[in-house]
Amino acid sequence: MVDRSDVGNLVGIDDIAVYVPRLFISAVKEFASSRGIEPGKLTKGIGVENMAVPDFHEDAATMAAMSVLELMKRNELRPDQVGRIYVGTESGVDESKAIGTYVIGMLEKVYGKGRFQECSTVEFKFACIGATHALENVAYWLKSQDWCNFGQGNDEGSDSDICDDMVGIVVASDIARYDLKSPGEYTQGAGSVSLLIKKNPRLIAFDPAMGVFTKDENDFFRPIGMKTAVVDGKYSNLCYLSAMEGAFESYKKRALNRKMICPKEDECVTDYLSHIIFHIPYPRMAEYASAALFRKEWGELSRWNAIEEEIGKEPISKDFEGDGEFFRAKNDYNRRFSKTRAFLEAYEKKVKPSTIISAHIGNIYTGSIYLGLASLFEERKLFSGERVGFGSYGSGCSAIFFSGVVQPGIESLQTGGLKRRLDARTETSLKDYELLHEGERKESVIVPSKEFALIKIDQDGYRHYDFVD
């Protein structure tokens, strides 16, 4: 349990809403057989069972608007309370116009024209980490004491009462798309996660420490004009792990310097994290990331003696003739470490519960890490006083590690019924999936109803949306 004495200054996540398309394709049925893939490679090898598929009338903007609408209705928010709608995406629908303006336009179809005109919006792009940068910005905006009086010389006419009522919304909305029959195809998915950010939140209050790592890499990129990404899967995994280790070390240094976490003798920082949520391009990647952090943390503790008794000592580069041999030996050691009793116990308790829902949706890029939070919330795995670590990664590359404390107000929050909605989805055929993927199907598989939909793209390329009853 964690004692928090700065209650009046807390900022964090108050509620969470997830939108997932009503279509999905099973990764282990017709898809697997058509690609010549053993189903076990998908379910056990990478942890994927189903992939969400956007219908003809859906894109990153409609999905974003749907998750925001659910968040606003569930919390009875007025448009004039929402000061920021910041969107993280790498599936932008325009090279110039921010996706958030389309979202606001759609919301005004429900709430009335001009109701969001004092709401600021901007689009954050950095592969899968964009929404985390958006979250950081909205949190700082709320944390600021004087933003309501920006540019004023005195407090006359202060809007402080209004300020106390203001909230921000961070939206992660993406469609993970790779070429048909490519190695990345079975890690696709689609969805949107909206986070309600406010003072004195009910769900997670952010800690005052954040670790960052950034490096210029070419592990994953999508040149302008291309519909699918260029990715080197194995190299991208290595970049992910290296960046995550760097961000965690940065976080650890700041957390210890601030005395936010004070490990006792023979303890480490991850001992004080009840849950660790990672970016989840596929569920097994969270296992690899946690293994990397636990190995580094435990290496200087007495518990490592038991691990060495179980799998032997870690390989040292000078004992090998070349880098290739050392690299293979190190990978083998990592694999054996991930099967040790100590690791499996920590992983099952701290990490695996956050990956459950992703296995049925697939990769949603910027939203994947926050889908992990939704998974913990839906599974009722979060309890007041627990500290939650977040390891966010974006290819190209950057990583951020931060944490927050679960608040007492979580007991008053109702889950969004996400598991029930996933069970109610429609399984699409391989043929329709491929036609939608290639943009060759010109009508929706499921006729839109009670949702935002892309109505048309006009001759100038402008996108028109509406709420379809």
Start-to-end CA span in the chain (Å): 47
Contact criterion met (CB below 8 Å) for 197 and 170: yes
Helical ranges in 144-225 per DSSP H: 160-165
Q: From the first residue on, what is the mean pLDDT of each consecutive set of 10 residues in the chain (469 residues)?
A: 54 98 96 96 95 98 98 97 98 96 98 97 97 97 72 52 82 97 96 97 97 96 91 91 96 98 97 98 96 94 96 90 81 91 97 97 98 96 98 97 98 91 97 97 97 98 97
Q: Across the beta sheet with 426-427, what order do the strands follow?
A: 50-53, 23-26, 426-427
Helix (H/G/I), strand (E/B), else coil: 468: strand
Q: What's the alpha-carbon Rg for the chain, to the nearest Å? A: 23
With contact defined as beta carbons under 8 Å apart, do 192 and 61 qualify? no
Instruction: Select from 1.10.40.30, 1.10.340.30, 3.40.47.10, 3.40.50.2300 the CATH code of 7-468.
Output: 3.40.47.10
What pLDDT sits at residue 61? Answer: 98
Residues 311, 313, 314, 317, CA torsion sign: negative
At residue 394, the pLDDT reads: 97
Q: Domain boundaries in the chain? A: 7-468
